[in-house]
Structure 1
Amino acid sequence: MTKHIFVTGGVVSSLGKGITAASLGRLLKARGYKVMMQKADPYLNVDPGTMSPFQHGEVFVTEDGKETDLDLGHYERFIDENLTRGSNFTTGAIYQSLISRERAGDFLGGTVQVIPHVTNAIKERFLRIEEQTGADIVITELGGTIGDIEGQPFVEAIREFRKEKGAGNTLVIHVSLVPYIAAAHEVKTKPTQHSVKEMRSLGLQPDFIVCRSDHEVEAPIRAKIAHFCDVDEDCVFENSDCPSIYDVPRHLSAQGFDVKALEKLGLEVRDGDMTEWDTFTSRMHACNKLEDTTKICVVGKYTELPDAYLSVIEALHHSGVHFGHKLKIDLIAGGELTEENVDAALAGYDGILVPGGFGQRGVEGKILAAQYAREHKIPYLGICLGLQVAVSEFARNVAGMPGANSAEFAPDSPYPVIALMPDQEDVTDKGGTMRLGAYPCKVAHDSLAFEAYGDELVYERHRHRYEVNNAFRQQLQDAGLVISGLSPDDRLVEMVELPESVHPWFVASQAHPEFKSRPTKPAPLFREFVRASIASHEGIDRHDVTSSVD
């Protein structure tokens, strides 16, 4: 029987439930169990795809094309498994499915209610992922905080699910804030006590409590929490701030977190192998101690909230560790770049990256960034919109197409080098209608892209509506733009680059390779971009930059 672990949060949001859940997933996988993870979000949006990155951070895309919460990125990076459409669902998605069924008459005129219909639909999602993946253990994180009115049906569904599964087949972990009060010089347990009291009033008793704090939560404090919350003392764990999120698995493992979880679930405590993870974290800390840094700027739109580019930033760090180099990553708003200040703003950077995004604001600044990188021979990586602005810039300033732009931003441009995909022309709904998920790409031999991947057919994840306009493809190629990646039918341009004879490393991808980067396996394009940036910083040939892993 598949075992289920539920992770809830108490007192405040943004505590790190997702990191706690992902860390446990990593530890259990290291002990030889097949682990799958899931996020249940109580908000009414059907998915995060139409939500502002300023509110919600990045939208993570799964291999099978589901727009999901950014926590799924953490899950994938920690457990090194591709998640699925079933790995994220919301109240909106639950209600949408129930209303569709009600309109179709599936309930035979009966009253549709939160209990049992909504709770049954939630439980069905818990079961669906175990059936689809055959996992030994499913870890489900409940978004929000205990006490939120919108989360109550989920708490009730977990309560019912535990009863139906039977003793020893489920585990509830409550991650709660234990704040440090500076004036009193002590951490306080009362918020956690109240959070657990609220949770128990809803019929759900936690098995474990994880104490989140910026100060160490010592054993007497944990014993106090155990006493007042009716939890065994050895089931209250301390999770104070670590230097990096990648240190959390070992921090929890040192307290027997994963061993105790397996014992509670009646599973064998197999020997664990964290060698690969420990090697990565050791290299990461060695890099952080270095004084010399390679400087990379990310020219984006949502720079006020770094989580909007979470996977991009993590993929860069993975690559820096791979080469044993420290990276300094700065976010620069494209809307602040002008022809007058672009030289001063971008001077001194060893690499320039333009990530994906939507909307016109800041696009001209991103085009200026691509131009600066091309003209000053600074390594450049374009992701999705970053490819489109690079093509627009090249068309304007090299291929003799003044005013070239994307039809998204300039419908009247004389040279719409980026245009709406044909299958998107009649689409009016915004949610879940883009080109989403993994698609194949043929990689041209003797290209930088082929050097990065080492394969002539690769799969990367997409999230976009616009593509390079084939009406201008030949004109762009004649001017020197290399099309290094195409869809298998040659219809869609997937990757472009500049020849090494004119630029040391300039590559752009219509896809989002950051979504598949892992701490121990950096995304190939990010890896080679960072290699080129290190070479630029040190004034050497990029082939002389070697991995610290080998």
Structure 2
Amino acid sequence: MKEMKYVLVTGGVVSGLGKGVTASSIGLLLQACGLRVTSIKIDPYLNTDAGTMSPFEHGEVYVLDDGGEVDLDLGNYERFLDIKLTRDNNITTGKIYQSVIDKERRGDYLGKTVQVVPHITDAIQDWIERVAAIPVDGKEGSPDVCVIELGGTIGDIESMPFIEALGQFSYRVGAGNFCLIHVSLVPVLNVVGEPKTKPTQHSVRGLRSLGLIPNILACRSTTELDMAVKEKLSRFCHVSLENIVNLYDVPNIWHIPSLLRDQKAHETILKALNLFSVVRKPALGEWTAMAQRCDMLIEPVRVAMVGKYTGLSDAYLSVLKALLHASVACRRKLVINWVAASDLEDATATESPDVNRAAWNSLKAADAILVPGGFGDRGVEGKIIAAKYARENNIPYLGICLGMQIAVIEYARSILGAGNFCLIHVSLVPVLNVVGEPKTKPTQHSVRGLRSLGLIPNILACRSTTELDIAVKEKLSRFCHVSLENIVNLYDVPNIWHIPSLLRDQKAHEAILKALNLFSVVRKPALGEWTAMAQRCDMLIEPVRVAMVGKYTGLSDAYLSVLKALLHASVACRRKLVINWVAASDLEDATATESPDVNRAAWNSLKAADAILVPGGFGDRGVEGKIIAAKYARENNIPYLGICLGMQIAVIEYARSILGLKKANSTEFDPNTKSPCVIFMPEGSKTHMGGTMRLGSRRTYFHATECKSAQLYGNQSFIDERHRHRYEVNPDMVPQLEKAGLSFTGKDETGQRMQIIELQSHPYFVGVQFHPEFKSRPGKPSALFLGLIAAASGQLDVLLKKCTGTKSNGYIISKSKSGLSPHHHYGAVNAIYSKSNGNTLHCGWLASRLGIDGWMKLESGLFMRDSLCLLY
């Protein structure tokens, strides 16, 4: 394994000498020699990162690919070296101390007294070695050289642990693997007019006293130093003359790598690292040409930078660099017109008119306007003014982060007026039992409050238990200042699918379309099929009872999507849905002992059901009751659907009852179980709950064609359903379970993650790791919910044959031309013919064959030619 080489850049005398640019230039120079380079910046402050610091403290917060908020010098590294760093490439005192304290709290130090030396210093060295080995250039393998910049100046108290650690580190990695470059100021005092070397001498003496010996002395100065000054520095700083380089002021920082090369700094570094004989000469041709091209730009391009921290250019350093890169590419000389956003505001115009006038002059003189990111409300109105000026006067505008938000706010204020915006206010009109009449005062006060906030309602939608008479509407119109025709009444209806028709019948759509200037360009609302579905739902009589065995049975909204999916499927099967709510814990033995009546009632509800559903969930409360419900469904041939946890429950029950593994469990409920049927997913987080699950749409591939789930989905090879879980079926248990008769009919793309289980010998016993309820729609019920209700109502065989396009009792169901699976158009009819000559069959026979929903659809003439064709 190759040895890592380290180049340390330190600074002396004063801060702000350009150590970051020097470190970046050294890295570029080594890259030009054919070496792979990474960088580390050490910031000796106690902050964990730069994310919470004001730009006035350390300049801009630079953001990395991994979300790290770091020092702006890492931006220099990435720009010069064209690499991608991580948050770990920025070491802070806060990070180091936090790491050490976390280890101490875990007991990693085995009772030792935790001290700065050796624990803090060791942590620093370990961090450097770990991060230095991580590739940052998109290639495999470790980099060759790590350039480390130590922030601050030599002698700072906060830097001492790092200096001690780096002294130990240089000794540990050994000569030939470590090179130290000290950047120091050689000032020129106006009173004497000559460079003064004493500050640098003292700085180097301090560095040596701390155990660090510089290989190279990089002297910052305003003008080029003569040989006598270099010789004096060499003599008193004990650095050989050829190892003293002069970083004098140049037209732009892109000249620094060439400046270092011309003074053969790379040769000194390579010799110190034992690399001189194995690398090529630095190839800086393209870089040098770019630096020279930048110097030769004449024609200006003026960009108004409208921000909050315009007094500190480093606050927007990356934005300035990006503008410079673009300007050079366009052969233009960049000129920044700094505009303090608050100076554009009306308050400044009143208090300091000269300041306001100067700000406007700078804005108007610009060829482009840029509003960068930021936080806080200071200057926000000025930024909005700048965005408006750019939009109205066709000035090129770029809004970054907050700058984009500013542009949206300005557009909404200026453009979204009449004809583009419609406000509908929903309010309650209650009926008090003591008076028995609708009370309009609550709605009046609500609308008054809305208007006081600057929002004027176009439509007032009044919720009530019964239909409001015209007198109430007139009163609301008079006191709420909303025209009578724009007051709609949303009274209670048998089911919410009637609401669109209710709104249509009161011409709410016309009021909305008129408000949006769309009335003349759209058609009348076509709600025939939707209305028929709502009416069909009202006319259902024959019940289907589903036992919902869960943890939150006292709150139906906890399972809202599941309930809606059950309703969609029930309407498609012409059954009236009845939910038997069963609190899972009420089925358990503990409840039977403590509250036998509660236990008996739960069992009665479970046994009275035509189907059992165990939905998703977390936590161990009620788990044993859910296992009991799954067992009851399996043993008594009751249709069962287990969703997410409900599938895991079914697997645990099967392992206990059929495999004889009495202690089988999920590691969620028993981390020490010896028969882990369900385990924590490797990519999950056990410490952070939010956003760490397997979430969103994932693909499931069917591994059996004869299974019910595949047939319900129309024998597709794969499906996409939504997931939300941290635990999964243990793949090591799958062979045992399959051998015992439990089929894993759906798996992920790897074949290792179990997505669907079935019992082939059972009328309908299905468990899925995903959540099919989230994609169920009215008129397009979820396949698996449709299967559950069909099984519960004795229609599953017919449904399966319809879904797969096979004959059933003299009927053939063909797939829709639209490509949707058959259950999406369940009950739709195009044409019906008799056995003889295509004559239309008698209506009574037809109604009995189709059921009430099919007959209503046929009668209302809603069937499209490309929907499912039901042919005799």
- Name the TM-score, length of structure 1 as normaliser: 0.71
| Partner residue, 1:206 | 214
Match of 1:379 among 396, 408, 426: 396
Q: 1:99 is matched by which residue type in structure 2? A: I
Match of 2:304 among 297, 300, 314: 297
Query: How many matched pairs?
Result: 405
For 1:23 and 1:234, locate their aligned partners in 2 and report how far apart those are by CA, in whole Å. Answer: 19
For 1:230 and 1:282, locate their aligned partners in 2 and report how far apart those are by CA, in whole Å. Answer: 35
For 1:108 and 1:322, locate their aligned partners in 2 and report how far apart those are by CA, in whole Å. Answer: 59
Is 2:338–2:362's contact at 8 Å kept on the other side of the alignment?
A: no
Q: Find out whether 1:190 has 2:222 as its counterpart.
A: no
Q: Find out whether 1:321 has 2:338 as its counterpart.
A: no
Deviation of 1:145 (Å):
0.2
Deviation of 1:269 (Å):
3.7
For 1:336 and 1:239, locate their aligned partners in 2 and report how far apart those are by CA, in whole Å. Answer: 38
1:461-540 residue pairs with structure 2 within 5 A?
A: none
Deviation of 1:344 (Å):
4.4
> SS of the counterpart of 1:46?
coil
Segment of structure 1 superposing worse, 338-347 or 274-283 = 338-347
For 1:271 and 1:200, locate their aligned partners in 2 and report how far apart those are by CA, in whole Å. Answer: 31
Where structure 1 has 5 or more consecutive residues not aligned to the other structure, the ranges are 404-411, 416-434, 436-550
Match of 2:366 among 349, 364, 388: 349
| Partner residue, 1:518 | none
Is 2:344–2:360's contact at 8 Å kept on the other side of the alignment?
A: no
Match of 2:293 among 283, 306, 311: 283
For 1:126 and 1:388, locate their aligned partners in 2 and report how far apart those are by CA, in whole Å. Answer: 39
Q: 2:43 is matched by which residue type in structure 1? A: D
Deviation of 1:283 (Å):
1.4
Deviation of 1:130 (Å):
2.1
For 2:234 and 2:365, locate their aligned partners in 1 and report how far apart those are by CA, in whole Å. Answer: 53
1:19-168 residue pairs with structure 2 within 5 A?
A: 19-133=21-135, 134-168=142-176
| Partner residue, 1:3 | 5
Q: 1:362 is matched by which residue type in structure 2? A: G
Is 1:298–1:352's contact at 8 Å kept on the other side of the alignment?
A: yes
> SS of the counterpart of 2:417?
coil
Is 2:337–2:362's contact at 8 Å kept on the other side of the alignment?
A: no
For 1:414 and 1:62, locate their aligned partners in 2 and report how far apart those are by CA, in whole Å. Answer: 41
- Please identify the structure whose Cα radius of gyration is greater: 2
Q: Find out whether 1:179 has 2:184 as its counterpart.
A: no
Q: 2:121 is matched by which residue type in structure 1? A: T
For 1:88 and 1:254, locate their aligned partners in 2 and report how far apart those are by CA, in whole Å. Answer: 30
Write out per-residue CA displacement over residues 300-330 of structure 1, whole angstroms, 9 at most, x where no aligned residue: 0111101000111111111111011112111
Match of 1:390 among 407, 413, 428: 407
Is 2:306–2:340's contact at 8 Å kept on the other side of the alignment?
A: yes
Q: 1:276 is matched by which residue type in structure 2? A: E
Is 1:263–1:269's contact at 8 Å kept on the other side of the alignment?
A: no
Q: Find out whether 1:306 has 2:313 as its counterpart.
A: yes
For 2:115 and 2:62, locate their aligned partners in 1 and report how far apart those are by CA, in whole Å. Answer: 32
Q: 1:207 is matched by which residue type in structure 2? A: N
How has the CA–CA distance of structure 1 residues 109 and 311 changed in structure 2, closer, same or farther, with 3 Å as cutoff? same
Where relative contact order (Cα < 8 A, 6+ residues apart) is larger, the structure is 1
Write out per-residue CA displacement over residues 191-220 of structure 1, whole angstroms, 9 at most, x where no aligned residue: 111111111111111111101111322222
Deviation of 1:357 (Å):
0.2
Q: 1:219 is matched by which residue type in structure 2? A: M
> SS of the counterpart of 1:32?
coil
Write out per-residue CA displacement over residues 103-147 of structure 1, whole angstroms, 9 at most, x where no aligned residue: 222212211111001101110121012222211000000000000
Q: 1:307 is matched by which residue type in structure 2? A: D
Q: Find out whether 1:229 has 2:237 as its counterpart.
A: yes
| Partner residue, 1:331 | 338
Write out per-residue CA displacement over residues 210-234 of structure 1, whole angstroms, 9 at most, x where no aligned residue: 0111132222211221221222211
Is 1:259–1:269's contact at 8 Å kept on the other side of the alignment?
A: no
Match of 1:365 among 366, 382, 404: 382
Q: 2:259 is matched by which residue type in structure 1? A: H
For 2:257 and 2:362, locate their aligned partners in 1 and report how far apart those are by CA, in whole Å. Answer: 39
Deviation of 1:185 (Å):
2.3
> SS of the counterpart of 1:24?
helix
Is 1:119–1:154's contact at 8 Å kept on the other side of the alignment?
A: yes
Deviation of 1:413 (Å):
7.4
Q: 1:164 is matched by which residue type in structure 2? A: R
Is 1:337–1:345's contact at 8 Å kept on the other side of the alignment?
A: no
Is 1:63–1:84's contact at 8 Å kept on the other side of the alignment?
A: yes
Q: 1:234 is matched by which residue type in structure 2? A: E
For 1:198 and 1:19, locate their aligned partners in 2 and report how far apart those are by CA, in whole Å. Answer: 23
For 2:82 and 2:398, locate their aligned partners in 1 and report how far apart those are by CA, in whole Å. Answer: 24
Q: Find out whether 1:17 has 2:19 as its counterpart.
A: yes
Is 2:337–2:363's contact at 8 Å kept on the other side of the alignment?
A: no
| Partner residue, 1:484 | none
Q: 1:312 is matched by which residue type in structure 2? A: V
What is the RMSD computed on CA atoms of the aligned residues? 1.9
Is 1:54–1:304's contact at 8 Å kept on the other side of the alignment?
A: no
Deviation of 1:332 (Å):
0.8
Write out per-residue CA displacement over residues 443-480 of structure 1, whole angstroms, 9 at most, x where no aligned residue: xxxxxxxxxxxxxxxxxxxxxxxxxxxxxxxxxxxxxx
For 1:81 and 1:215, locate their aligned partners in 2 and report how far apart those are by CA, in whole Å. Answer: 32
| Partner residue, 2:272 | 264
Write out per-residue CA displacement over residues 3-37 of structure 1, whole angstroms, 9 at most, x where no aligned residue: 00000001110011111111111111111110001
Q: 2:377 is matched by which residue type in structure 1? A: Q
How has the CA–CA distance of structure 1 residues 29 and 413 changed in structure 2, closer, same or farther, with 3 Å as cutoff? farther
How has the CA–CA distance of structure 1 residues 413 and 117 changed in structure 2, closer, same or farther, with 3 Å as cutoff? farther
Deviation of 1:259 (Å):
1.8
For 2:360 and 2:214, locate their aligned partners in 1 and report how far apart those are by CA, in whole Å. Answer: 56
Match of 2:283 among 273, 281, 285: 273
Is 2:4–2:145's contact at 8 Å kept on the other side of the alignment?
A: yes
How has the CA–CA distance of structure 1 residues 381 and 111 changed in structure 2, closer, same or farther, with 3 Å as cutoff? same
For 1:372 and 1:8, locate their aligned partners in 2 and report how far apart those are by CA, in whole Å. Answer: 47
For 1:265 and 1:24, locate their aligned partners in 2 and report how far apart those are by CA, in whole Å. Answer: 14
> SS of the counterpart of 1:132?
coil
> SS of the counterpart of 1:180?
coil
Deviation of 1:414 (Å):
6.8
Deviation of 1:351 (Å):
0.4
| Partner residue, 1:219 | 227
| Partner residue, 2:657 | none
Is 2:307–2:372's contact at 8 Å kept on the other side of the alignment?
A: yes
Where structure 2 has 5 or more consecutive residues not aligned to the other structure, the ranges are 136-141, 350-355, 422-451, 456-690, 692-872
Is 2:254–2:288's contact at 8 Å kept on the other side of the alignment?
A: no
Deviation of 1:100 (Å):
1.5
Write out per-residue CA displacement over residues 154-207 of structure 1, whole angstroms, 9 at most, x where no aligned residue: 111111111111111000110011111222221111111111111111111111
Is 2:31–2:37's contact at 8 Å kept on the other side of the alignment?
A: yes
For 1:301 and 1:117, locate their aligned partners in 2 and report how far apart those are by CA, in whole Å. Answer: 42
Is 2:302–2:334's contact at 8 Å kept on the other side of the alignment?
A: yes
